[in-house]
Structure 1
Amino acid sequence: MLRLIARRLVISVVLVFVVSLAAFLLQSAAPGDLAQTILGEHYSPEAHEQLRHQLGLDQPILTQYWYWLQQALGGDLGSSPISGLDVEQEIANRLPVTLSLIACATVITTLAGVLLGVVSAVRGGRIGRSVDVLSLVGYALPSFWFALTMVTLFAVTIRILPATGYVALGASPGGWARSLVLPVATLALPGTAVFAKQTRDAMLETLSRGYVTALRANGVSESSIVFRHALRNAAIPVVTLVGLTFIGLLSGTVFVESVFAMPGLGGLAVQATANHDIRMIQGVVVVFTLIVVAVNLLVDLAYGRLNPKVRVR
């Protein structure tokens, strides 16, 4: 198991380097540059070239990346040339918002999806068909339509939930929970449908195996078969889906934070990209990549817990 973790960590270091380089190159290839954003609409070519020289934008792309990488390896992500804000501090301020959204949506998706999947696999019939319909609906419903419908119903018509904004957990736990209901529901709906379908399929495959028939023949209770044996053996694909769901929600937060005006990393990434703020973009990219690395490592550890064979590979 230690060899597996060590190998994953080595791969993760390479992944962070490749992703940060790709993000730097893509942003550098985008139309416009940071100097134009700072100068605004009206500027002289001389002023533009002078500012590009001051910012180091006239140097080769790889040289610019190398300077940024040296600073990053030293633990300094720099500051935004536009806002003057420290990149690390700005990310630290916004990270709890994004993590709150993703963590809550992942927990709700997992619990609701596993419950629906297990019930439909055990009961079958109409419940099983309902899960299939729910999966199709979850895939088909546009997230923006669902988000706007939720806002119209619960924030405008009934007025029981806030339409936008975020309340910090330390400021008001109740306000924090209320501010997350609509965005978390928007993120969780498609994932719950997929989770229910995948859990149902995994449970049906497990319940059809020979050892389950033997357990029933030996008089083992149905609840013990389902929760102690079948669900444990069906857990590996479910754990995989938990990791994929968490990672997939990183991109979903970009949309949700924009719709619900939440000060998270998704909105910061959009704003930084529009302003060609390469230092802020690189900081967000590195944090997102580290989150992906951490989630994948946790999934590997969960594999080792659920399947002892993985520990010795």
Structure 2
Amino acid sequence: MVTFILRKLAAGVVVLAAISFLTYFLLYFSSANIARNILGEFASQEQVAAKEIELGLDQALLPRFFAWAGHALTGDLGTSWFTSEPVARALMTRLPVTLTVVIVSIIFIAIIATALGMAAAVKRGWIDKAVQSAAVIGDAIPSFVMAIILVTVFAIQLKLFPATSSISPDSGSAAWIASLALPVLAIVINGVTSAAQQIRSAVIKQLEKDYVRTLRSRGISEREILFKHVLRSAAPAGLTVLSLQFIGMLGGVVIIEQIFALPGMGALAVQSTTMGDIPLVMGVVLYTVVIVIIVNLLVDLINGWLNPKVRVS
């Protein structure tokens, strides 16, 4: 198990380094007018040149990247070029909002999709057809379209929820629940049916295997077979789907946050990319990749616990 974890961590470090360099490489060629944007159009050429030297924009790609990477390894992600706010502080004030939306959504998706997928696989009939039809419709309707519909109906017309977020650093749980209810609902509606479809297929595949017939011949109850044996064997496929959805949400939640004015990573990513604030952009990318690596590692560990053969695959 230790070797398994070390191998996964080593692969994650390689991915993190590669994505960081690629992102910095792309940003390097888009940083021509950043000093002018910071100082304004009335700044003299001498002031612009001095600002470029101060920010290190006069250096070549590799020296700039290794200087940033060296500071990042010590936990220093620099400061925003436009607001002078430390990047780590800017990220930590917005990361909880995004993670709350994504984690709560994936928990609801996991619970509902598992129940629907197992019901469709066991009962078949109209439940199975409904899940398959809903999966097609859910994939066809983007989550931001569902978000707009929910805002229009439940916030603007019925006034049951706020149309925009009221979350602030000193907000209580009531503000969080009211502000996140519709965003989470939009994501869950969009993602639950496709996950249920995958879980259904995995459960059906397990129900057709010989060990299930053997268990039934021994007189073991159907409930015990389903929840103790079939669900455990089908869990790796479901976990893989949920992990992919979680990773997709980290990027897709950007639009959701814009619609509901949530103070999350999405707004920060859009703002910093538009302005060319390289320290903030690199901070967002770094935190996102680290989260993805951690999620993949956890899924691999759970799959390894459910199926020891995964550890040596």
Q: Does 1:75 align with 2:75?
A: yes
Fraction of identical pairs, as percent: 39
Q: Which stretch of the first structure deviates more once superposed, 245-254 or 209-218?
A: 209-218
| Match of residue 167 from structure 1 | 167
| Match of residue 14 from structure 2 | 14
Distance between the aligned counterparts of 2:167 and 2:227, measured in 1? 38
> TM-score, structure 2 length as denominator?
0.95
Task: Return 5+ residue gaps in structure 2 as ranges.
Answer: none
Q: Does 1:134 align with 2:134?
A: yes
Question: Which amino acid in structure 1 is aligned with residue 12 of structure 2?
Answer: S
Question: Which amino acid in structure 2 is aligned with residue 270 of structure 1?
Answer: V
Q: Which stretch of the first structure deviates more once superposed, 123-132 or 20-29?
A: 20-29
Task: Return 5+ residue gaps in structure 1 as ranges.
Answer: none
Q: Which stretch of the first structure deviates more once superposed, 25-34 or 232-241?
A: 25-34
| Match of residue 26 from structure 2 | 26
Distance between the aligned counterparts of 2:311 and 2:278, measured in 1? 41
| Match of residue 298 from structure 2 | 298
C-alpha change, 1:304 and 1:274, in structure 2 (3 Å) is same
- The alignment partner of 1:234 has SS state of helix
Distance between the aligned counterparts of 1:255 and 1:109, measured in 2? 19
- Deviation, structure 1 residue 217: 2.4
Distance between the aligned counterparts of 2:37 and 2:51, measured in 1? 11
- Deviation, structure 1 residue 166: 4.4
- The alignment partner of 1:80 has SS state of coil
Whether the 8 Å CA contact 1:135–1:197 is kept in 2: the answer is yes
Question: Which amino acid in structure 1 is aligned with residue 230 of structure 2?
Answer: A
- Deviation, structure 1 residue 130: 0.4
**Matched ranges for 1:180-219 at <5 A:** 180-219=180-219
Distance between the aligned counterparts of 1:200 and 1:73, measured in 2? 44
Whether the 8 Å CA contact 1:27–1:273 is kept in 2: the answer is no
Distance between the aligned counterparts of 1:188 and 1:163, measured in 2? 18
- Deviation, structure 1 residue 33: 3.5
Whether the 8 Å CA contact 2:167–2:262 is kept in 1: the answer is no
- CA deviation profile, 1:24-65 (whole Å, cap 9, x unmatched): 111222375321321334444444333222221121122111
Q: Does 1:288 align with 2:288?
A: yes
Distance between the aligned counterparts of 2:52 and 2:276, measured in 1? 13
C-alpha change, 1:169 and 1:304, in structure 2 (3 Å) is farther
Q: Does 1:247 align with 2:257?
A: no
Distance between the aligned counterparts of 1:133 and 1:98, measured in 2? 30
What CA RMSD, in Å, does the superposition of the two structures yield over aligned residues? 1.7
Distance between the aligned counterparts of 1:166 and 1:122, measured in 2? 43
| Match of residue 51 from structure 2 | 51
Question: Which amino acid in structure 2 is aligned with residue 195 of structure 1?
Answer: A
- Deviation, structure 1 residue 169: 9.3
Distance between the aligned counterparts of 1:169 and 1:5, measured in 2? 36
Whether the 8 Å CA contact 1:117–1:200 is kept in 2: the answer is yes
